[in-house]
Structure 1
Amino acid sequence: MAQPLRIPSRCYPFGETGAALHMLGAVAPGLGVCGVKVRTQIGANAQPQLLIFDSATAPPVPLIDAYALSSLRTGVLAAVATYALAHPEASILGVVGSGKQARALVAAIARVRRLSEVRLWSPTADNRTRAAAELSEALGLIVRAVKTPAGVVRDADIVSLPARAPEPPITSGMLARRASHRDRGYRSRPSRTAARRVPPLRGGLCRYP
């Protein structure tokens, strides 16, 4: 099968407010499709779309909300990691983040573990409170918004960080010994380095060194 060809990304600034149009494409000959991801960025607002074409007949096949696709991908990866690494009886999930990806992550992990409690923290109180209420209603779970990152990880069996921040809000010392920890999203280099060095513990669990 022919290897996919990635088309270099392009960014086209416009206006006087830092607005920009971003484009990234790829061709997958073996799958018979090609596509482009287009994202408009205007101030703090961004809207990405993924457009896939039939490379044999030319018409577009689907138009996909790239935010939704990214959230689903994040959730699935979190669920796979939890299924493989967390203890079968792990039931308390701590999440740093309250955005779209955090919500998809909670929903996905709830499919592979029987969660007795979910704890959410993000810097903005209104955001985490609203996310906790909406997830609780949608999933039928106990979801609590907590006031500090330490409150998220205290005695948690599973900890995940689907968010971005200048510095990681939790440290290895905060984690329960039994915690299965999956780190992602933080710009801090020490956090990314630690994520690559997660050693196994008994029972297939993992924890920062």
Structure 2
Amino acid sequence: MTDATPGSELITPAQFHAASGVTDWRVTATGPQAVFLADSLAEAAALVAPIVAAAERHGILPDVDLRPEAIVVRVPYRDPEGIPAAAPEFAASVSRTAAELRLAADPARAQAIGIYVAQHSGADVRPFFTAALGYDDFGDSDAIDPLRCGPQLAFNPITGDAPARGRTHFDVFVPADQAQARVDAALAAGGRLVDDTHAPAWWSLASPDNHGVDIASWTDTFG
């Protein structure tokens, strides 16, 4: 199998979505993903072998999350600069087989959770977090679980803040066509809108006790 290593041909989310046969799929911060619903573990597992076969044909290394309720298929970013060019063909193949198996896609369930660690401009906290969590560096400013099970971390400096005061919030990446509904649901559940000047790329919300959450859809549309 040819891995999608740095230097391979890459495409953007917009190019991925422009391909045929990928309507079941959405791009989040971790890459393209699709959720196919199932009534049992055995029913969901029936898609595993076809996924493996499609991965071999197209040179893709997918992540597969098998649950009794659904099977989640992701094409994870192995290069922070883009999606493997073969990903649309792989995705279309998986979707065709899922349809044959009568596993309905539910794009509204696609999402990725990230943790945004805002650090003082004079600090570098990524080594601490990678050591404490057993994560690996990813790109210039992120960190990931080597098995891509835990949330991705992003480390970004802030200015004008007191040293030794950390700030952290959750990033919730959802499909672009689901973002407004997710924001509305969070506000209806007692949340507060902090900033919508970047919408529809992202909205900054706060919980009733002022914990920060960004609802982001830009990864599903840019490029």
Interval containing the TM-score (normalised by the shorter chain)? under 0.3
TM-score, normalized by length of structure 1? 0.27
TM-score, normalized by length of structure 2? 0.25
Higher relative contact order (CA 8 A, sep 6+): 2
**Whose radius of gyration is greater, 1 or 2?**
1
